Structure 1
């Protein structure tokens, strides 16, 4: 029989960093042994815990991340009395956290699939799930069910399937179903919906001022859609939604009115509620007393407490304040999830080998489906004639070296002055909106001037939300959006050109 404290400990999923000091690894080992926590959430490194894996200025050896993670999972599992539930936040596959592993398209890209989107998104979820399972992971904190209605959203953007609530509902559920098919846990997030916010909850508290009716027709719709179809996990975000808690600006993640009364009561959710990272500034700054935030999150109705910086004090405080009955109920949910995901049958794992050929084939099929002309139209014959007559120009922006795309175009290009038409290829440096997605002012100015002085075709490799900085789309003869800079997407663009 486990004690009350041991049962509470099963709710905790603190962060485990692959690239960390040996002292920190040993400290986490002690935490597993002494506090008997039930779960770990893996991140690449401390510098990047809240970010995705992209051009990080980190002074650390980042080689062999996958091998190190597998080794750490085996090491930590070996010292745990009850096998640990291993979690990760991998919205577009292991590659979001671990280099040299398969990367899948962003949600915004999958939202642009033109045919059989549900089927393909489920397939992507399935493949991602298999990759994670092979690496010893049981639960993926994905997909986002946020409806991205605010184009200036600093934190969702490319992570959402789009700005149409119905489409987001279907695709988020398809992604969830694919992972479930791979026998991986998945979870809809960030309840009650982080899409129409202008503050990054890693840094401050976003407040969503909408009526209940507005919320039900947009933010809440994908969650209700999932609940009605049996979704078993939902992550609650750190955002205040006064309409759901009597006008108060309490973060949803620690609001009993929002989680227990509304999500579980009114919306009928019977599954497991996961807290967003408890170290995020939106909540962490308000509770200086160690353990108080953990208690608030537990009392609000969260079952799995992620990224707590005060595990020991959190267990202590919950033990003092929660009833045996509450603790038993949550403990049972966690143990049921562990059984369902095969956690309790843990065997040491080896480093997985990925089928890169199959991955490339999937990426090719997806790219053919999402790469599209989103404005104007391409006159193939005209372009072909211009190319033959030596009147076609080409400019590439934001690439440090010649792109694969430019190599695949076998035209003889001439100087811009002698051209009638110019192909402008833009490789957007970042998929996040900070500093105009990393695009420099001088280049943006040049692109706008070109589009107004010549007949231009814009080829946009990157987040479509960055298009607004490239001038009026009508100034271009046509705009091709490739959504990503994957080689397969570059190849798909060449198929639209002569």
Structure 2
């Protein structure tokens, strides 16, 4: 036992000695460092030495008077350091170069950028707050954040960043730290602070641990008064000082001393700790052994400024043991007082030299022995990089925390069983959250001015997502619920299944008296665009929940707790580089869009690009028509034309093949006995799907319904109103007799087969597949595909007969028909044959937006699996994505189009793999998926507007030209 105690004592002594001997300001080439410092010190006057103690605040958004003031500080008072405050990076860079040129010695430039340069500067990058980062398990991500910020600081000529905050925020009511802290766990705070410091200092930018000896358990703001910490030394030692020891041992270069009143450390209750020799010299330097740069907190803060005159405060700070005075209020008076103190021997020149030497060592460490002006060219681009957003996304993805998941609601799995409403609470916007939720399935935004009205509107819904949105402007904004909101929340939760997602501090949840009726609870920490979008993706299982609470929510949820979720393989939404695609290359699609619109190849269109299961480009261009009254939105839906074949008929045929209801080897007479005595009886399903069944391309059925003399639609077949047997809607005010369907199938039975064997694209087989599927499953095709595919897939904007589901304004018109229906076709299918079947056919009739087309294509790419559900077996996908008649020069798979075999044919760009598949549509639509590159591409347009004679899009191969751009964008 004695030996064990002795060993522990020895270890403790060694640790103390090690901490006391660490000099974070010493460089590897310390001999050169010492020579540089000595050479400067030997030439400095007293005034120049005193000037090195000051770090004066400079602004890049003020007038010439302020610039003149800073110039005077540098040239007359030899101020050696500046801290830049508000402004712009461009102006700061200009002023930085100007002020450096005026200074005899290189200026140390400081900055207060805890979550990035955005904390002070416009048009710079904003990373998450510390509380958000505190929820991340992987500390290496925080180190990467430090690295990125280090690069930003270095690029802008900043040498010291006053971060990280290492205060352990154990007081939820702390008005000034809160979100700026990594949390309430001293270990987590220490680990995150060390990781950040290592990243920042890797690039020669000094980190700064603040606010010593610990500002985390205060109930007042030192900007306005002197906060009191009435704890004994043991408590301070065990919590507040813990992160400082750890960061000191890890080599942090500087520390900021706080304006606090701590009687257990300084008996004079009115003396701020920043001015206390007991705290700065005895505790910080001697006991903790810190040898780095010691800088006061801002001396314009009331916690210090109320103590004495500005000059007296500054002198007291130096006498206490600080090396540098941050934002002194009276440099001339302080200079005079320090010189007088040296004469009076109340301050020695040796004490002055001690701090000046440390400051110069720090400047050498920062690379100021080889000072270079800030390069102005490409500054904005270098401070707002793609890799910054990639990291930001990763930080947010790893922070969002699921803390309750009763009934395993999250992630949503069975979308066909969900009827979802969204209710917003809070005083900030939740637009990005709602918009992202709607990408996955139908989500209705429900509002009302009173609770009873809201609850009445919520009755039809079995799932309510409540988003609590508070301002994301800065971390000091209020995060609390209003009393009315708490009442509404609990009453909704009492009646409905609820997911509460708080886009603010986790401390907001302390107001909730009970979580009993809240089935699922998510903490998203901030109301940023990224937090909203990523949180929505977590709810739907596109991204896993990984975060852990950095603070406790009462006794209900302890710090460190968080529920991990699983990936349902749904599409994610991110930026191109996240999927190893070049945004710059994809921007060429925007350039092509101008050509399409200028040449009137189509009045408008949508383009979507996904890779590796991530949608990275989804844009809409132009207008619904050339009248330019309504711009195309991503939510608008298009007539898909022949894409219907692979998006509606084909997945059902695949399932029917698995169910042995429609085997590939079956003949037409097997699946439709009425064709037994026709010339098509023996044609196989495989041959038809491959367009090798000798079927004619199409039959213009509508021409057979026109009056032979007037060439108008015959009244024998049509009525302008729905009446009796004239009940099949063809278009607006045009109804065909229900019996005509029999005539259509009669014509198909009787039409001659092509004599010549070979490939011929034909719609007719899909008329037969529709009939067969409906008979096998005893359900209309539109209901069948919605039940089996679209509803569980969350493809709520993919449908037949869109006018029954959507307002006409969101449906993009196709053609101004002057040959059959004599009207603008909007919401009624363009294809004539499909129209005569009432808008539901196997070959055409489907409407959708690009996002929902991508869901089906991604399901195919994932071998029939999507959203946690298997729709089609992997082997079935492979079976259908195969050419069975390649030896006959047929490029088609089963239903799927495939890359051209003949180079002269432009079915694709010629740049996709042989495993790729897709289809094109007559109205100007196209979609393609490539298992090799993992790319899904969707192009939707109404190129048939104003008429189908508009063939520019086809003639110039625009759709495949865009496909080439996408392929060229791959950067891995």
* Paired residues of 1:448 and 1:471 also in contact (CA < 8 A): no
2:271, 2:93 → 1: CA distance?
A: 39
Please tell me whether the aligned partners of residues 127 and 182 of structure 1 are also in contact (alpha carbons under 8 angstroms). Answer: no
Which residue number in structure 1 is paired with residue 684 of structure 2? Answer: none
Q: 2:373 aligns with which of 348, 357, 363?
A: 348
8 Å Cα contact 1:292-1:314 kept in structure 2: yes
> Residues 472 and 528 of structure 2 are in contact (CA less than 8 Å); yes or no, is this contact kept in structure 1?
no
Instruction: Return the TM-score normalized by structure 1.
Output: 0.90
C-alpha displacement of 1:227: 2.0
Establish whether residue 482 from structure 1 lines up as the match of residue 538 from structure 2: no
Mapped contact 1:452–1:475 kept (Cα < 8 A)? yes
SS in 2 for 1:234: strand
Q: Which residue of 2 aligns with 1:172?
A: 193
Gaps of 5+ in 1: 46-64
> Per-residue deviation at 1:427?
1.6
Corresponding residue to 1:92 among 115, 118, 123 = 115
Structure 1, residues 42-65: CA drift from partner, whole Å, max 9, x if none? Answer: 1116xxxxxxxxxxxxxxxxxxx1
Matched, 1:141 2:169: no
SS in 1 for 2:74: helix
Q: Report the Cα distance in structure 1 between the residues aligned to 2:475 and 2:133, rounded to whole angstroms.
A: 19
Which of 314-323 and 352-361 deviates more? 352-361
1:368-407 equivalence runs, <5 A: 368-377=397-406, 379-380=408-409, 383-385=412-414, 388-389=416-417, 391-398=419-426, 403-407=431-435
1:337 corresponds to which residue? 362
**Residue 135 of structure 2: aligned partner:** 112
For the residues of structure 2 that align with 1:447 and 1:453, how far apart are their CA atoms?
10
Q: Cα–Cα, structure 1 residues 400 and 490, in superposed 2: closer, same or farther, change >3 Å?
A: closer
State the shift of 1:299 in Å: 0.6
Are the counterparts in 1 of residues 93 and 156 from structure 2 also a CA contact under 8 Å?
yes
In 2, Cα distance between the equivalents of 1:432 and 1:453? Answer: 35
Structure 1 residue 264: deviation in Å?
Answer: 0.6
Distance in 1 separating the partners of 2:98 and 2:197 = 29
> In the alignment, what sits opposite 2:262?
241
The answer to whether 1:20 aligns with 2:62 is yes
Matching residue of 2:45:
3
Q: Deviations over 1:329-349 (max 9, x none)?
A: 111111111111012322221
Partner deviation per Cα, 1:104-144 (whole Å, 9 max, x = no partner): 11111111013x22x11111111111011101111001101
Distance 1:72 1:448 in 2: 54
Deviations 1:16-56 (A, max 9, x none): 122112111111111111001000011116xxxxxxxxxxx
Partners of 2:418 and 2:463 within 8 A in 1: no
Select which of 226, 235, 239 maps to 1:214: 235
Does the Cα contact within 8 Å between 2:403 and 2:521 map onto a contact in 1?
yes
**Distance in 2 of aligned mates of 1:329 and 1:381:** 59
- Structure 1 residues 426 and 138, CA, compared in 2 at 3 Å: closer, same or farther? same
Retained in 2: the 8 A contact 1:5–1:316? no
Give distance in 1, aligned partners of 2:167 and 2:419.
46
SS of the counterpart of 2:60?
A: strand
Whichever of the two has the greater Rg, that structure is: 2
- 1:440: Cα distance to partner? 4.6
Are 1:107 and 1:158, in contact at CA under 8 Å, matched by a contact in 2?
A: yes
2:342 is the counterpart of 1:319: no
- 1:86 partner SS: strand
1:306 aligns with 2:326: yes
Distance 1:383 1:171, change over 3 A: closer
Comparing 404-413 with 153-162, greater Cα deviation is found at: 404-413
Q: What SS does the aligned partner of 1:474 have?
A: coil
Secondary structure in 2 aligned to 1:418? coil
**Which residue of the other structure, out of 151, 156, 171, is the alignment partner of 1:150?**
171
Aligned match of 2:89 in 60, 66, 85?
66
Question: By how many angstroms is 1:7 displaced?
Answer: 0.3
Report the Cα distance in structure 2 between the residues aligned to 1:416 and 1:470, rounded to whole angstroms: 22
Q: Return the structure number with greater helix share.
A: 1
Residue range with higher mean Cα deviation, 356-365 or 294-303: 356-365
Q: CA RMSD for the aligned pairs?
A: 2.1
CA distance in 1, matches of 2:89, 2:514: 43
Alpha-carbon distance in structure 2 between the residues aligned to 1:425 and 1:463: 13
Structure 2 residues not aligned, in runs of 5+: 1-42, 342-346, 445-456, 541-972
Of 442, 464, 477, which aligns to 1:422? Answer: 464
Distance 1:377 1:312 in 2: 65
Match of 1:437 in 2: 479
Distance of 2:296 and 2:44 partners within structure 1: 24
Q: What secondary structure does 1:241 align onto?
A: coil
Q: Distance in 2 between matches of 1:156 and 1:453?
A: 37
Distance 2:262 2:473 in 1: 27
TM value normalised by structure 2: 0.47
Counterpart among 502, 507, 530 of residue 465 in structure 1? 507
Q: Contact 2:411 / 2:539 at 8 angstroms: preserved in 1?
A: no
CA distance in 2, matches of 1:196, 1:371: 25
Q: Deviations over 1:242-289 (max 9, x none)?
A: 1112464521100011101111111111111010000000110221x3
Q: Which SS does the other structure have where 1:423 is aligned? A: strand
Do structure 1's residue 412 and structure 2's residue 453 form an aligned pair? no
Aligned length: 475
Structure 1 stretch 451-460 or stretch 29-38: which is displaced more? 451-460
Equivalent residues of 1:394, 1:416 under 8 A apart: no
CA contact 2:169–2:178 (8 Å) conserved in 1: yes
2:180 touches 2:475 (CA, 8 Å); kept in 1? no
1:182 matched to 2:182? The reply is: no
- Deviation, 1:453, is 3.1
Distance change >3 Å, CA 290–CA 153, structure 1 → 2: closer
Provide the rounded CA distance (Å) in 2 between the counterparts of 1:127 and 1:142: 14
Report what 1:54 is aligned to.
none
Q: CA 1:19–1:448 in structure 2 vs 1: closer, same or farther (change >3 Å)?
A: farther
The answer to whether the 8 A contact 2:176-2:476 is kept is no
- What secondary structure, in the 3-state scheme, does the structure 2 residue paired with 1:359 have? helix
| Structure with higher RCO (Cα < 8 A, 6+ apart) | 1
Q: CA–CA distance in 2 between the matches of 1:4 and 1:296?
A: 18
Q: Deviations over 1:81-121 (max 9, x none)?
A: 1111000110001011112211111111111013x22x111
Q: Indicate if the aligned counterparts of 2:82 and 2:110 stay in contact, CA closer than 8 A.
A: yes
CA distance in 2, matches of 1:24, 1:199: 32
